[in-house]
């Protein structure tokens, strides 16, 4: 057991109430740490520190070159600390160390990318009629709130945090109450690398802290990754004061597999889409729409792959799938597995709790599960399960596949597997989602805007879109004529605008 503290104004801080939360390792069910259970008072302290750092501190006033240098030093420091971060995140959220290493090794890229955008930033000069020079300036928003989830705590934090800092903002972070440890570590690492005290603040806690941050009148923007209902509530709250919001929410990603693609190869790719992070990902490949001519072959291959995935201790390099985040989440998924069977889908693989060694018996493991012979209208094909459950549905024609893919309230991601290049482009263009992969899944880069449509959220993380959305645009009009304006005299302008 280790004791951790909130990080406010560069200092370790306990909750105002004195309350704390116990953090568990989901692979063993055992407690590994305590953190403060912060609330609205603690959020207000953090926002006050961030606002002071913004209004009178050096960070927004640094030259672009100076700020970019600090971000590059932060990236280097994160790289040096990467092994300890890999281990900490695996202990905290249960993802296999191979997955965690592959994901967190990319965290420094986001800081370097946004530092590069900052160094290369250009501001527009706009055409104007008459004797005027008109140009734009981008200025930071102020205090920004970042609310992160349990499934990818470090990577999702890096996407928003690096852009917010590059553009000169100060931040208050509210990590998931289940997985705050790497967030606290990252805040300290980048502060030690030269980000001034008060610029990055972390409030640990549950729902009260999250609501307090979204409702705070001094927070100019919220970036939130979480469930659709939480995002809807945050959107209403921020809209009331005209604050900005970027929200990446739920998903039910369709994966369309056409008959021209080798079904075994497609199933291997599909298994990654469905079971990476134990299926606890908003873009998990949860709905497999498979052309009927290769349907049986695909199901057989996917079942074989699911049954062969090695379940075990996520700290061991041979483990391929770890536990779910909590017993509550596992019970929710088990309920959906029961619903799928009641609806008439065929349970083709998994569906239960695996038999594991004694030291893992109290962990929150679940077998990779495949439902076959489902229909697109079933709840298990329509609702976000957020667990290692793949639902396979047959289709006949391209038009039917597109219709089925779009017949869902979510629109975060999608994938198309085909050897017909023209079809790949055509279908990708027809799917209603923020991102589409062709013959792959879940690929991301710092330059690729990430975000969905419909009930999957609003706005974009990553890319220039995210960078720009952390700034206000100010238009400046300068009269450059060599004579004065006298509207009511002889030098009246010919028109007002």
471 touches 140 (CB < 8 A) = yes
Q: Which of 469, 474, 473 is nearest to 223 (CA)?
A: 469
Block residue for tokens 């700034």: 471
Would you call 282 a catalytic residue per the annotation?
A: yes
Interatomic CA distance for residues 107 and 77, integer angstroms = 11
Hey, what are 281's tokens? 């990902």
User: Which residues, 6+ apart, have CB-to-CB distance to 286 below 8 Å?
Assistant: 251, 252, 253, 274, 279, 384, 385, 389, 390, 391
222 touches 245 (CB < 8 A) = yes
Instruction: Give me the DSSP letters along 228-260.
Output: HHHHHHHHHHHHHTT-EEEEE----EEEEE-TT
Query: What residues pair up with 369 in beta bridges, in sequence order?
Result: 389
182 touches 154 (CB < 8 A) = yes
DSSP state of 276: G
Hey, what are 260's tokens? 């021209």
Q: Which of 284, 3, 345 is nearest to 152 (CA)?
A: 284
Name the burial class of residue 55, with classes exposed (0-12), middle (13-18) and buried (19+) by CB atoms within 10 angstroms of its CB. exposed
372 touches 345 (CB < 8 A) = yes
Q: Which of 77, 81, 317 is nearest to 181 (CA)?
A: 81
Interatomic CA distance for residues 53 and 302, integer angstroms = 53
Interatomic CA distance for residues 25 and 325, integer angstroms = 8
Hey, what are 134's tokens? 């008109």
Q: How far apart are the first and last CA of the chain?
A: 67
Q: Which of 264, 250, 257, 248 is nearest to 404 (CA)?
A: 257
Do strands 6-8 and 125-126 pair parallel, antiparallel, or not at all (unpaired)? unpaired
Interatomic CA distance for residues 370 and 345, integer angstroms = 10
Catalytic residue chosen out of the listed positions 282, 384, 432, 455: 282
94 touches 325 (CB < 8 A) = yes
33 touches 134 (CB < 8 A) = no
Catalytic residue chosen out of the listed positions 248, 384, 432, 455: 248
Active site residues: 248, 282
């Amino acid at each position: 057991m280790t004791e951790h503290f909130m990080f406010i104004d560069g200092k370790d801080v306990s909750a105002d109430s004195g309350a704390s939360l116990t953090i568990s390792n989901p692979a063993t069910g055992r407690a590994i740490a305590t953190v403060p259970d912060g609330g609205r008072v603690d959020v207000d302290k953090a926002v006050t520190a961030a606002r002071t750092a913004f209004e009178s501190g050096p960070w927004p006033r640094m030259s672009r070159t100076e700020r970019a240098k600090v971000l590059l030093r932060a990236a280097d420091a994160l790289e040096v600390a990467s092994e300890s971060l890999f281990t900490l995140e695996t202990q905290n959220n249960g993802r296999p160390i191979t997955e965690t290493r592959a994901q967190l090794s990319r965290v420094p890229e986001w800081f370097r990318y946004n530092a590069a955008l900052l160094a290369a930033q250009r501001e527009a000069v706009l055409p104007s009629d008459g004797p005027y020079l008109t140009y734009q300036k981008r200025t930071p928003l102020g205090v920004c709130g970042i609310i992160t989830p349990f499934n990818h705590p470090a990577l999702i934090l890096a996407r928003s945090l690096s852009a917010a800092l590059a553009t000169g903002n100060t931040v208050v972070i509210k990590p998931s109450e289940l997985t705050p440890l790497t967030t606290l570590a990252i805040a300290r690492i980048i502060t030690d690398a030269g980000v001034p005290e008060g610029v990055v603040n972390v409030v640990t806690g549950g729902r009260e802290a999250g609501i307090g941050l979204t409702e705070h009148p001094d927070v100019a923007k919220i970036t939130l990754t979480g469930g659709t209902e939480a995002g809807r509530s945050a959107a209403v709250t921020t809209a009331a004061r005209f604050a900005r919001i970027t929200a990446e929410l739920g998903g039910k990603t369709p994966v369309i597999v056409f008959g021209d693609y080798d079904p075994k190869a497609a199933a291997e790719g599909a298994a990654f889409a469905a079971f990476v992070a134990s299926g606890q990902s908003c873009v998990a490949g949860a709905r497999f729409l498979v052309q009927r001519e290769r349907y049986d072959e695909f199901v057989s291959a996917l079942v074989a792959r699911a049954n062969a995935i090695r379940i075990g201790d996520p700290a061991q390099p041979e483990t391929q799938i770890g536990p779910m985040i909590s017993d509550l989440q596992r019970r929710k998924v088990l309920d959906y597995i029961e619903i799928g069977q009641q609806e008439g889908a065929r349970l083709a693989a998994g569906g239960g709790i695996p038999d594991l060694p004694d030291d893992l018996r109290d962990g929150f493991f679940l077998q990779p599960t495949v439902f076959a012979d489902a229909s697109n209208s079933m709840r298990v094909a329509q609702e976000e399960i957020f667990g290692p459950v793949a639902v396979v549905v047959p289709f006949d024609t391209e038009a039917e596949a597109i219709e089925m893919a779009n017949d869902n309230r979510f629109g975060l991601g999608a994938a198309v597997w085909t050897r017909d290049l023209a079809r790949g482009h055509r279908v990708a263009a027809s799917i209603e989602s923020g991102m589409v992969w062709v013959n792959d899944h879940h690929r991301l880069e710092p330059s690729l805007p990430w975000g969905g449509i419909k009930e999957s959220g609003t706005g974009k993380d990553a890319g220039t879109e995210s960078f720009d959305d952390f700034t206000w645009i100010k238009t400046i009009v300068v009269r450059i004529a060599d004579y004065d304006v006298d509207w009511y005299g002889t030098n009246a302008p010919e028109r007002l605008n």
